[in-house]
Amino acid sequence: MEFYKYSGSGNDFIFIDNRKEQWRIKPKMIESWCKRREGIGADGVILIGSSEKYDFEMRIFNSDGSEAEMCGNGARCSVHFAYYHLKMKESKHFTFETMNGVYEGEVVEADEVRVKMTELYDVNAINISDLSGKRAMYLNTGVPHAVVQVSSVEDVRIKSIGSAIRNDVRFSDGTNVDFFEVIDPENKTIKLRVYERGVEDETLCCGTGVMATAVACAKFFNWSGMINVYAKGGFLKAIVDKEFKELYFQGEVKMLFKGEIAPA
């Protein structure tokens, strides 16, 4: 079985073309492939399937084998994969479906992809004000996020604190946890670290986390337009309008290598 290894600002994935539905992927296979020292190594596995209405279907699986509703970096990588390697069409603009919704994305430069984030709901549906001495907000941008403002992201014990919040009883299905620090309010610039549900550790970048944090900052500080985000995996851009109807996530995508692996 042929696979492609991708990185979206440090958030890495194993891509498999499954448009003919010839591969039956099991959770144990995904766990094995994602192991850093014994497998290919990745934060998750993405299957690209066919769609009756749209250009393709994206299914994203976490490294523990569980299926996720959506992944922003995975979506950006999927658009790059569809355009450059599957060569689905000449246009650089794609519409695709996920478990929960329909998304649009386009290749804006050689290795830079922008995705329109169409899901935003459950804003402040759960009160998490006790999680920060500054500001905190719960919301869902395709998957659930607890956004927590801190004085310094570098000082956060992210694995222990992130795990504790992720497993807090108030989140029935768990949550991702985003710790952010404002480093330049005039230029709407933040630093971000994310503890990701399903990976159960810090990841270098999380697209839905970038978007969730950008929306939270827009609400906290009345920001709109371009919000600059420095994650562990690099620099990203989030675009938020005042009505929260035009939400975009943009950044670098890299195809690292391709190879073959036994399907079982």
| Residue numbers annotated as active site | 71, 206
142, 70, 52, 263: CA torsion to nearest 10: -160
Task: Give me the residue label for tokens 């975009």.
Answer: 248
Residue 140 structure tokens:
């869902």
Cα 215 from Cα 198, distance rounded (Å): 23
Of 82, 86, 84, the residue nearest 94 (C-alpha):
82
Asked if residues 29 and 64 have their Cβ atoms less than 8 Å apart, the reply is no
Cα 3 from Cα 72, distance rounded (Å): 20
Asked if residues 163 and 190 have their Cβ atoms less than 8 Å apart, the reply is no
Cα 141 from Cα 76, distance rounded (Å): 15
List residues bridging with 236 in a β-sheet: 229
DSSP string, 95-126: EEE-SS-EEEEEEEETTEEEEE----B-TTSS
Asked if residues 82 and 4 have their Cβ atoms less than 8 Å apart, the reply is no
Cα 34 from Cα 12, distance rounded (Å): 10
